[in-house]
Amino acid sequence: MDLRPLKIIISLGIFPEKLKNHMENEVKESEKLVLDASTFANVRGMLDSTDQENVNVALAVIENCNRKASLVYILLLKKICKPNGETWKKQAPEAYKFLKTIGADPDKVCQYKQILKILGAQKAPEKDIQFFLDYFGEYVFKSVKDMGYDFVEGIEIKLNVKEGANATK
């Protein structure tokens, strides 16, 4: 019996039982959680928590979600929440790498323009673009109110899709 593969596994610190469990628990990307507006709000609250355990759980959710299908939410969370790039790198290394591969610098705050550019490059679905626009509209509204324009009741940015256009849902 050739023991070389077992020696490699042991030298890497991966013991056969752990390896077996890892293989059994591996989840296909299509079966992973996809963040939505509701989970976005929950994860955002956890990321902004002063309790480090909440931050770690939130980053674990991001680490284990379907990142491509959750793109808009991940980019906005990275922009608006407290944890820095080093924390993301430590607690959510695959999400950190994912951000790098799509052109977002995980060590810096994403700008709205950059987020929109990435969403376009990744061919994000219409609903994700609209979520981004809704969130950006809230940001603009708060900024206008902070400038003293109390007469403004709200700002809505609505995506109008051409009739017959092949927009992704």
Nearest to 76 by CA among 136, 18, 24: 136
Q: Residue 36: what pLDDT? A: 95
Question: CB-based contacts of 133: which residues, under 8 Å, 6+ apart?
Answer: 157, 158, 159
Mean pLDDT confidence for 136-164: 92
**Mean of pLDDT values over 103-115:** 93
Give the residue extent of every domain in the chain: 32-146
- The mean pLDDT value for 64-90 works out to 94
User: What is the per-residue pLDDT across 13-22, written as a single tens digit (0 to 9) for each?
Assistant: 444 454 445 4
pLDDT at 32 over 60: yes
What is the gyration radius of the CA atoms in the chain, in angstroms? 20
pLDDT-derived band at 51 (thresholds 50, 70, 90) equals very high
Predicted pLDDT of residue 133: 96
